[in-house]
Structure 1
Amino acid sequence: MLSFLYSFIALLYGYALGSIPSGYIFTKHFTGQDIRTIGSGNIGATNALRTGNKVVAILTLLGDSLKGVLVILSLKILSFSQEALLLAGAAAVLGHIFPVWLNFKGGKGVATTFGVILVTSWPLGLLILGTWTFTAVIWRYSSLAAIVASASAPIWSLLFLDTSIAIWATFLALLVLFKHTDNINRLLAGKEPKIGASKPKSKMDKS
Structure 2
Amino acid sequence: MNSSPIAWIVGLGLVSYLLGSIPTGYLLGKWLKGIDIRDCGSGSTGATNVLRNLGWPAGLTVLIVDIGKGAVAIGVGRWFQTGWGSDLDGLAQAGVFILLGLLAVIGHSQPVWLRFNGGKSVATSLGVLLALNWPTGLTTLAVFLVVLGLSRIVSLGSMIAALSLPIWFWVFGQPAPYIGLGVGMGLFVIWRHQSNIQRLWQGTEPKLGQSVPSPQTDLEQVPH
What is the TM-score when the length of structure 1 is the normalising length?
0.91
- Among 14, 21, 32, the alignment partner of 2:23 is 21
Aligned to 1:203: 214
1:104 alignment counterpart = 116
Separation in 2, partners of 1:150, 1:78: 29
CA RMSD of aligned residues (A): 1.8
TM-score, normalised via structure 2 length: 0.84
Q: How many percent identity over aligned positions? A: 37
Deviating above 3 A after TM superposition, structure 1's stretches of 4 or more consecutive aligned residues are: none
- Deviation at 1:141? 1.4
Written as runs of structure 1 = structure 2, the 5 A alignment for 1:127-206 is: 127-160=139-172, 161-196=174-209, 198-199=210-211, 202-203=213-214, 205=218
Contact 2:94 2:178 in 1 (8 A): no
Aligned partners of 1:3 and 1:52: how far apart in 2?
A: 43
Distance 1:52 1:23 in 2: 10
Shift of 1:36: 2.0
Worse-matched range after superposition: 169-178 or 28-37? 28-37
Please list every run of 5 or more consecutive structure 2 residues that lacks an aligned counterpart in the other structure. Answer: 86-92, 220-224
Gaps of 5+ in 1: none
1:25: how far off? Answer: 1.1
Deviations 1:145-182 (A, max 9, x none): 00000000011112222211000111111110000111
Higher-Rg structure is: 2
Deviation at 1:22, TM superposition (A): 0.5
Output the CA distance in 2 between the equivalents of 1:159 and 1:52.
Answer: 38
* 1:101-156 deviation line (CA, Å, top 9, x unaligned): 00000000000000011111101001101111111112221111000000000111
Aligned equivalent of 1:61: 63
Q: Is the 8 A contact 1:69 1:116 kept in 2?
A: yes
Tell me how many residue pairs correspond in the alignment: 204
Residue range with higher mean Cα deviation, 88-97 or 33-42: 33-42
Match for 1:154: what amino acid? P
